[in-house]
């Protein structure tokens, strides 16, 4: 490909195992220090610094200095979408990690995908929103859906005023079907935290629902 975006450059940044581990860790949407990312990647701080410099120069992460530490985040939800898509492709084509960790079932059940809910519960939520008519087949919020989310305490006017798409499908790597992304997906997850129904496990992508919180989530969203 002689003209247009250089996908080979982006692929080369993603293709290194250490950098891939760093970017996957940042999928939780939380800013991490260079030291934390070094541990995630299994490399020395010096090597991590080199990798992070390349990722920052390539536009995949943004770094900022705070006190003695440098913190890094993904540069946007489009980076998160690409990473989740690659994870889905790897799962579909059989390129799975040979030794899944003990948190694997929890990750598959409910996890953060950048800033929205993924996993079994995230996919089930989007399915229910479509079946109930709150979101239509084209991923557009209906009048019924607007009333539902307003009653849930989400400021739709503020979301619509932003530049980010309101509703967006994000292909889930563990279920291989879509969950809800976009500004509404992010707002829903924030609301689940605010209501005390769920919390993100510290330092992990796992979203842990309390027993009562999951009952409310299932009831309110009409999950089967």
| For residue 124, pLDDT beyond 70 | yes
Q: State the pLDDT at residue 101.
A: 52
Q: State the pLDDT at residue 38.
A: 92
| For residue 81, pLDDT beyond 90 | no
Q: State the pLDDT at residue 174.
A: 81
Kindly give the interhelix angle for 17-26 and 34-41, rounded to the nearest 10 degrees: 120
Buried b (16+ CB within 10 A) or exposed e, 152-179: eebebeebeeeeeebbbbbbbbbbeebb
Q: State the pLDDT at residue 98.
A: 55
Average pLDDT over residues 112-129: 94
The pLDDT tens digits for 21-49 are: 999 889 887 889 999 999 888 899 899 99
Q: State the pLDDT at residue 102.
A: 47
| For residue 169, pLDDT beyond 50 | yes
Its pTM stands at 0.73
Which of 14-28, 99-113, 137-151 is the most confident on average?
Answer: 137-151
Alpha helices in 171-210 (DSSP H): 182-194
Mean pLDDT, the chain, integer: 89
Rounded to whole angstroms, the Cα distance separating 150 from 143 reads: 11
Q: State the pLDDT at residue 208.
A: 95
Domains of the chain, start order: 7-75 (1.10.10.10), 78-221 (no CATH)
Q: State the pLDDT at residue 22.
A: 93
Torsion of CA 52, 57, 58, 64, to 10 degrees: 60
The pLDDT tens digits for 86-107 are: 888 887 887 776 554 546 788 8
């Amino acid at each position: 490909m002689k003209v247009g975006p250089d996908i080979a450059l982006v692929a080369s940044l993603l293709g290194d195992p250490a950098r891939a581990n760093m970017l996957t860790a940042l999928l939780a949407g939380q800013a991490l220090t260079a030291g934390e990312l070094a541990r995630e990647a299994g490399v020395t701080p010096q090597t991590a610094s080199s990798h992070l410099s390349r990722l920052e120069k390539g536009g995949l992460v943004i770094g900022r200095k705070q006190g003695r530490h440098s913190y890094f985040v993904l540069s946007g939800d489009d980076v998160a979408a690409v990473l989740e898509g690659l994870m889905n492709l790897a799962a579909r084509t059989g390129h799975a990690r040979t030794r899944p960790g003990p948190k694997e079932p929890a990750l598959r059940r409910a996890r953060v995908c950048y800033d929205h809910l993924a996993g079994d519960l995230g996919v089930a939520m989007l399915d229910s929103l479509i079946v109930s008519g709150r979101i239509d087949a084209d991923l557009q919020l209906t009048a019924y859906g607007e009333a539902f989310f307003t009653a849930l305490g989400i400021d739709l006017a503020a979301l619509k005023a932003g530049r980010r798409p309101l509703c967006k499908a994000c292909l889930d790597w563990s279920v291989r079907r879509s969950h809800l992304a976009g500004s509404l997906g992010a707002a829903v997850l924030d609301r689940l935290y605010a209501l005390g129904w769920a919390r993100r496990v510290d330092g992990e992508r796992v979203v842990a629902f309390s027993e009562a919180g999951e009952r409310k989530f299932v009831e309110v969203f009409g999950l089967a």
